[in-house]
């Protein structure tokens, strides 16, 4: 897969200069300007970030911008006091932004809600007081399991306001996933809704949470938002534990002081998949993350006060944290938030919304773009998309063909495209065009953001044209750890080279210094922009009594970017039939969620292994992608490959 990607991007030679109309009105207007600012940010990062931070509100200023005395434990804006919710809301209440729309929301059925910054302030304060009334204190963990409704943003901001640590769990995760995440961080409260609208139906979220928290002794209360206000739909409330959101906030005051947080106080946890069976609780702290999400939003989206900005991600992932909630609101922007899927009730739904709200900036994932391509140009062509002025992508490498389609059909060749490479761990965009400055190349995330010292290294730390992506300097938005697992933090990100961050991606750097991200080099698969650890799936399969062993790999997929194929060998006397495939899929749904079901499950008598017993995934990948199988000289039993190849073609 890496080789295929490398081939495609080596052949890609097209370049696109920033459109002059865009450029003339942009914050930064030339590559020279980018280079100058970049140089400053690398040569003198502390001065650079201090100046940037002075655009935000601090209750107390820092003593030191960066403490790098004890890597990889970096500390930013030491001893300063601030609050990110204050910066996202209160900071704007003294200006004209106060009465500007902060969130324009539309539900799947078409219901609408607009919250100005002042509205948001009242709702967040009420919710913050509600949490306090339940005994929530600074540092307590709160798990949030909600659909894309305004109360999700409100809950997140309310936690930040009082210094409670939020852990948002994407509403596609199963009860068992919720349970594990809640237990890992010992959350005190869960926040959910009766249900969600999904493709015209109700998704019963509260039932899933009920099932999860039966096995979560740390949970004291469960706050329930009423989303599906229909008569036939009522969920059972357990008086001891469950409390309606509307009852909780009804009597709460609209005033709630923002807690003065230390720069390095924990802001949130967000669980993400790694190379073991156990997801990692990524830790982000207050001031650095705040500054980084603010500053990247400002320059990469080139936000203007009058813009309507739409990021189609879910707040359950980092993209939604940084670029629906914190970054845009810290900039006083107007965000469109949408509850539904792109094809309910029809395949033109997103474009209908772009027209309806005159969206100016649109940020989505390559997998969505490829899906739109498949549905056909007639859908976007039905709507007036002329309000769009900037397009963005995130989550996985974008193939040049999809990039060109986005450029032509959605952007009418008028809009720059920012292909932004970053991760849950980085907090914000790391390699990205600056739209008024950077000449783009389809498929390349282009150049590093300010302060980001990116390079491509081999395993010995030597710079190469193709190899492993690495970040040499700390940056404000960086993760500060993995919850409860310092060793894993050091091992995963900081052990490849000395004091250099290893993101887990392969990359190529071209003659212009442009980065081309080639995908993960570890056992993490990126399916439709969702990160899934192959080990997580493997451990699920082997938990089934009939399964002896399993190996899961990622293969190229036309729409999803990557898809998973599971090779499963059974215990003696068991038959690999369709019923068992269904059972295994069901198990994945129970343990993780529907989105993690592999594309194919293949039963095999044996898995190819080295003489020392290590499964040779490379060979499995070759088989699954129909390539000539690579070097098998280290294989313990070469006949396994022949049997597998036959099996794969049969299925
Ligand atoms: C992984 C991070 C960043 C928010 C969404 C995903 C891949 C992300 C790009 C891009 C190529 C990309 C990388 C990265 N990725 N953006 N523009 N080009 N690859 O966050 O779940 O933390 O996943 O997504 O492989 O490591 P995440």
Q: Specify the CATH number for the domain of residue 646.
A: 3.30.300.30
One domain for residues 502 and 592: no
One domain for residues 483 and 367: yes
State residue 175 phi and psi, 5-degree precision: -55, -40
Residue 648: per-residue pLDDT? 76
Rounded to an integer, what distance in angstroms lies between the CA atom of residue 42 and that of residue 72?
19
Q: Which of 272, 321, 325, 395 maximizes ligand 1 atoms within 8 Å of its Cβ, making it the mutation to test the pocket?
A: 395
What residue owns the CA closest to ligand 1's atom 21? 531
CB-based pocket (< 6 A), ligand 1: 272, 317-319, 394-397, 419-424, 445, 503-505, 517, 519-520, 526, 529, 531
**Contacts of range 90-96, beta carbons closer than 8 Å, 24 or more positions apart:** 90/57, 90/121, 90/258, 91/56, 91/57, 91/330, 91/332, 92/117, 92/332, 93/117, 93/118, 93/121, 95/332
One domain for residues 495 and 591: no
Rounded to an integer, what distance in angstroms lies between the CA atom of residue 599 and that of residue 581?
11
Helix axes 205-213, 175-185, angle to 10 degrees: 50
| CA atoms within 13 Å, Cβ hemisphere of 377 | 10
User: How many Å lie between the centroid of ligand 1 and the Cα of residue 651?
Assistant: 32
What residues in the chain have per-residue pLDDT under 70? 1-6, 230-234, 650-651
What residue owns the CA closest to ligand 1's atom 5? 395
**Domain membership flag for residue 8:** no
Per-residue DSSP letter, 399 = P
Record the tokens describing residue 117, joined without a space.
């910054």
Q: Which of 531, 536, 554 maximizes ligand 1 atoms within 8 Å of its Cβ, making it the mutation to test the pocket?
A: 531
**Domain membership flag for residue 92:** yes
What residue owns the CA closest to ligand 1's atom 10? 421
One domain for residues 596 and 484: no
One domain for residues 285 and 334: yes
Q: How far is CA 285 from the centre of its chain?
A: 17
Helix axes 45-53, 31-43, angle to 10 degrees: 110
Instruction: Walk across the sheet containing 112-116 and list its strands.
Output: 112-116, 101-106, 334-338, 308-311, 361-364, 390-394, 417-420
One domain for residues 38 and 170: yes
**Residue 61, C-beta contacts closer than 8 angstroms, at least 6 positions apart:** 80
**Domain membership flag for residue 7:** no
One domain for residues 184 and 303: yes
One domain for residues 556 and 628: yes
What residue owns the CA closest to ligand 1's atom 12? 396
**Domain membership flag for residue 2:** no
One domain for residues 414 and 547: no
Give the pLDDT confidence of 430-470 residue by residue, as tens digits.
999 999 999 999 999 999 999 999 999 999 999 999 999 99
One domain for residues 138 and 168: yes
- The size of the chain, in residues, is 651
User: How many Å lie between the centroid of ligand 1 and the Cα of residue 167?
Assistant: 20
Residue 233: per-residue pLDDT? 62
Rounded to an integer, what distance in angstroms lies between the CA atom of residue 391 and that of residue 432?
12
What residue owns the CA closest to ligand 1's atom 19? 396
Rounded to an integer, what distance in angstroms lies between the CA atom of residue 313 and that of residue 627?
34
User: How many Å lie between the centroid of ligand 1 and the Cα of residue 482?
Assistant: 18
Rounded to an integer, what distance in angstroms lies between the CA atom of residue 243 and that of residue 251?
14
Residue 644: per-residue pLDDT? 82
User: How many Å lie between the centroid of ligand 1 and the Cα of residue 397?
Assistant: 8
**Domain membership flag for residue 5:** no
One domain for residues 292 and 143: yes
Residue 605: per-residue pLDDT? 87
**Domain membership flag for residue 95:** yes
User: How many Å lie between the centroid of ligand 1 and the Cα of residue 474?
Assistant: 19
Domain count, the chain: 2
**CATH number of 286's domain:** 3.40.50.12780
State residue 197 phi and psi, 5-degree precision: -90, 125
Residue 637: per-residue pLDDT? 80
One domain for residues 331 and 424: yes
Return the SS3 of 537. Answer: helix
Residue 646: per-residue pLDDT? 79
What is the span of the domain harbouring residue 124? Answer: 20-440+453-507
Rounded to an integer, what distance in angstroms lies between the CA atom of residue 421 and that of residue 593?
26
225-235 core/surface letters (b: 16 or more CB in 10 A; e: else): bbbbeeeeeeb
Give just the sign of the alpha carbon dihedral 252, 258, 260, 265: positive
User: How many Å lie between the centroid of ligand 1 and the Cα of residue 395?
Assistant: 4
User: How many Å lie between the centroid of ligand 1 and the Cα of residue 420?
Assistant: 8
CB 258 within 8 A of CB 90: yes
**Domain membership flag for residue 14:** no
**Domain membership flag for residue 169:** yes
């Amino acid at each position: 897969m890496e080789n295929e990607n490398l081939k495609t991007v080596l052949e890609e030679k097209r370049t696109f200069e920033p459109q002059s109309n865009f450029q003339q009105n942009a914050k930064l207007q030339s590559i020279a300007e980018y280079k100058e600012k970049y140089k400053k940010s690398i040569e003198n990062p502390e001065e650079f970030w201090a100046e940037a931070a002075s655009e935000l509100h601090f209750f107390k200023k820092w003593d030191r911008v960066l403490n790098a005395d004890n890597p990889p434990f970096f500390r930013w804006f030491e001893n300063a006091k601030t609050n990110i919710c204050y910066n996202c809301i209160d900071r704007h209440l003294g200006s004209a932004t106060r009465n500007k729309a902060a969130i324009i929301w539309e539900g799947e059925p078409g219901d609408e809600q607009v919250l100005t910054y002042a509205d948001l302030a009242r709702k967040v304060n009420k919710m913050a007081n509600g949490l306090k009334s339940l005994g929530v204190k600074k540092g307590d963990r709160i798990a949030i399991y909600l659909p894309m409704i305004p109360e999700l943003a409100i809950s997140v901001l309310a936690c930040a306001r009082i210094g409670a640590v939020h852990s948002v769990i994407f509403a596609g995760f199963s009860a068992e996933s919720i349970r594990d995440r809640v237990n890992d961080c010992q959350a005190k409260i869960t926040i959910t809704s009766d249900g969600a609208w999904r493709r015209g139906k109700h998704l019963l979220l509260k039932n899933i949470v009920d099932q999860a928290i039966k096995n979560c002794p740390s949970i004291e209360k469960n706050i329930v938002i009423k989303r599906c206000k229909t008569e036939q739909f009522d969920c059972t409330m357990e008086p001891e534990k469950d409390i309606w959101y509307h009852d909780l906030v009804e009597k709460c005051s609209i005033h709630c002081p923002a807690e003065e947080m230390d720069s390095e106080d924990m802001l949130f946890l967000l669980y993400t998949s790694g190379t073991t069976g156990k997801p990692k609780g990524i830790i982000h702290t207050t001031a650095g993350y705040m500054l980084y999400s603010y500053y990247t939003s400002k320059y990469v989206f080139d936000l203007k006060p009058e813009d309507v900005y739409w990021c189609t991600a879910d707040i359950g992932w980092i993209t939604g944290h940084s670029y629906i909630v914190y970054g845009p609101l810290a900039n006083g922007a107007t965000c469109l938030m949408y509850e539904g899927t792109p094809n309910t009730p029809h395949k033109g739904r997103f474009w209908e919304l772009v027209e309806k709200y005159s969206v100016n900036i649109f940020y989505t994932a390559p997998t969505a773009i490829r899906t739109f391509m498949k549905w056909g140009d007639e859908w976007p062509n039905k709507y007036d998309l002329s309000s769009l002025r900037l397009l963005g992508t995130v989550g996985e490498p974008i193939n040049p063909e999809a990039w060109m389609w986005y450029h032509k059909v959605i952007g009418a060749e008028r809009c720059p495209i920012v292909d932004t490479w970053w991760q849950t761990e980085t907090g914000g965009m790391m390699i990205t065009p600056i739209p008024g400055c950077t000449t783009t190349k389809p498929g390349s995330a282009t150049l590093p953001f300010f302060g980001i010292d990116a390079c491509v290294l081999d395993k010995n730390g030597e710079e190469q044209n193709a190899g492993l992506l690495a970040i040499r300097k700390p940056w404000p938005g960086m993760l500060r750890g993995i919850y409860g697992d310092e060793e894993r933090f050091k091992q995963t990100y900081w052990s490849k080279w000395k004091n250099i961050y290893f993101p887990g991606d392969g990359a190529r750097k071209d003659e212009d210094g442009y980065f081309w991200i080639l995908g993960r080099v570890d056992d993490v698969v990126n399916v439709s922009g969702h990160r899934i650890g192959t080990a997580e799936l493997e451990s699920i399969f082997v938990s089934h009594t009939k399964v002896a062993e399993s190996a899961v790999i990622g293969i190229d997929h036309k729409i999803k970017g990557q898809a998973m194929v599971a090779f499963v060998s059974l215990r003696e006397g068991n038959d690999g039939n369709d019923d068992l495939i269904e059972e295994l899929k069901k198990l994945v749904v129970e343990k993780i969620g529907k989105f993690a079901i592999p594309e194919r499950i293949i039963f095999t008598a044996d898995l190819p292994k080295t003489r020392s017993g290590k499964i040779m995934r490379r060979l499995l990948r070759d088989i699954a992608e129909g390539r000539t199988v690579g070097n098998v000289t280290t294989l313990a039993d070469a006949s396994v490959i022949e049997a597998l190849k036959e099996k794969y073609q049969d299925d």
